[in-house]
Amino acid sequence: MEPECLLSPLVPAGRRGELTRGEEPAGELADRLAALPPDIRHGLGRLWGLLPEARLVGGVVRDLLAGRTVADIDMATPEPPGRVQAILTAAGIKVVATGLAHGTVTAVIGGRPYEITTLRRDERTDGRHAVVAWTGDWREDAARRDFTINAMSCDRYGVVHDDFGGRVDLAAGRVRFVGDASARIREDALRVLRFFRFHARYGRGAPDAEAMGAIAALREHLSRLSAERVWSELRRILVGPGVVATLGLMDTCGVLACLLPEGCDLPALGRLIGTGAPDDSVLRLAVLARAAPDVLAGRLRLSRAETAALAAIRSGPLPDPAMDEDGRRRLLADEPAQALVGRSWRVQAERLGTRSPAWDALRADLLDRARPVFPLAGRDLMQAGMAPGPRMGQVLEQVRAWWLAGGCRAGRRDCLAYLERLVAGPA
């Protein structure tokens, strides 16, 4: 009987004899690889059968070592991208050319994407983009990554390859740039923001002194980044762990002022978090940043939905748990419940800064209510004998104001009766 393979779900059948108990020792991540969900084990098994020299790289290795849930599966291989694409296609695997210029293709197996990138070295960088060349040197590829904890790789036997001390840094809760911190930042200024995001998630204690010094000295390089890239990182920081402490670190080295020059209110953000508000990046930005909504939307290239949500949080009638039934109906008649809920968190943070069952009940009530709809339109005024023109809009607004004053309770018949009285004028 064939000895049991330590990674039988991951090792192709023709290779299982090479990784049996008592023959070849498994790497330190063998058990964690074997414990991955079945669909991932199946996908990796197929890929390693076709690309035996490929390795897991970056975040998946870091999170396996840290015992965290694995999200995206990224791999690297010495094979050039064209050959990778040909091998996978010949095996009947769907391949998407997601970034051939940078050596990346995506294999789709069982509906799950596996990003596979050819080993690279940087030929030229400008702080935003890099011109790369393929290499067969794993260390050279690892040297171009941002942090030591992201520069590790893991082969199909679970052996971790770590050229820059990532395992030690991960265990110590230390986020450290690969090699010279200043050089890494000059290559891509987005690494400044990634440093704070990763320190929040994986760091413990004071941040790396060399990194903080380099960031303070080179923070102006952030101006080279597109607004979309900045917002992509900032939104993750805003919903990440220890956000107030993280933003405080960014403030101490001048990064926050580069991103939000009109100023920030960190205590206000702390009060918002104290209310138990959801981890929503736009809500937290609205409370944190002092700039006007249109300024923030332009600077960060917010989407239309994000811009509308930001404006709604910042302005409009203020919800209050003491509002009566009619008051709540009037609010809903003018704005969607979600907009009112977002604003309610800001108001609660300003007034209380703590959790409140009364505010929670108000939000639940607003979300549960059907939104009142004014029952008349311009055609109703024309049927009442009114000619089109400015007065039609004025009269319609008068009827709607009457409807609102009554708590949005009047139905179509009552509104038409009031309209007739307005059109008829004084008796």
Q: What is the pLDDT along the chain (427 residues), one digit of tens a residue?
A: 222 233 434 444 334 333 333 334 578 999 999 999 999 999 999 999 999 999 999 999 999 999 999 989 999 999 999 999 999 999 999 999 988 778 999 999 999 999 999 998 876 665 556 667 888 999 999 999 999 999 999 999 999 999 999 999 999 999 999 999 999 999 999 999 999 999 999 999 999 999 999 999 999 999 999 999 999 999 999 999 999 999 999 999 999 999 999 999 999 999 999 999 999 999 999 999 999 999 999 999 999 999 999 999 999 999 999 999 999 999 999 999 999 999 999 999 999 999 999 999 999 999 999 999 999 998 888 888 888 888 888 999 999 999 999 999 999 999 999 998 887 766 4
Closest CA to 156 of 29, 306, 4: 29
What the block records as the tokens of 272 is: 């918002």
Would you say 30 and 7 are in contact if contact means Cβ atoms under 8 Å apart?
A: yes
So what's the pLDDT on residue 101? 77
Q: What beta strand segments (E) does 148-258 contain?
A: 153-154, 160-161
So what's the pLDDT on residue 51? 97
So what's the pLDDT on residue 364? 97
What the block records as the tokens of 9 is: 């779900």
* Rounded Cα–Cα distance for residues 414 and 399 (Å): 10
Question: What separation in angstroms does the CA of 405 have from each of 149, 168, 333, 402, 422?
Answer: 61, 67, 11, 5, 16
What the block records as the tokens of 137 is: 């040197």
Distinct helix (H) and strand (E) counts, the chain = 22, 9
Domains (range + CATH), the chain: 1-172 (3.30.460.10), 179-254 (1.10.3090.10), 260-372 (no CATH), 378-424 (no CATH)
Look up tokens 């939905």; give the residue.
305
Burial 255-292 (b: 16+ CB within 10 A, else e): bbebbbeeebebebbbbbbebebeebbbbbbbbbbebe
Closest CA to 184 of 154, 153, 150: 150
- Do β-strands 104-109 and 130-134 pair in parallel, antiparallel, or remain unpaired? unpaired
Kind plus residue range of the DSSP H or E element containing 49: helix 38-50
Fill in the amino acid letter for 271: R
Would you say 129 and 114 are in contact if contact means Cβ atoms under 8 Å apart?
A: no
Would you say 372 and 332 are in contact if contact means Cβ atoms under 8 Å apart?
A: yes
So what's the pLDDT on residue 410? 96
What backbone phi and psi angles, to 5 degrees, belong to 347? -65, -40
Residues 6+ apart with CB under 8 A from 188: 125, 127, 128, 130, 146
So what's the pLDDT on residue 126? 59
